Amino acid sequence: PNVPVKAEQMKAVIEKYPGVAVIGFCSMRMFEKAGWLSTISFDCLIDANIDPVEVMK
């Protein structure tokens, strides 16, 4: 929110750096709600909720 970056734009940036670890940090399932999980393959995704904090993958 408040940052007009689409998942496809971020995927294009990530593809410029092959072999890097893709780490995401969001809160309240923002990447899921924005549809980023179907476009970007995260090596580590931390989704911070008010209670509890989940570390996925």
For 12-41, write each residue's pLDDT tens digit. Answer: 999 999 999 999 999 889 999 989 999 999
CA dist., res. 55 & res. 19, Å (int): 22
pLDDT at 1 over 90: no
Tokens of 20: 């890097």
Average pLDDT over residues 46-51: 83
Tokens of 32: 């899921």
CA dist., res. 36 & res. 52, Å (int): 22
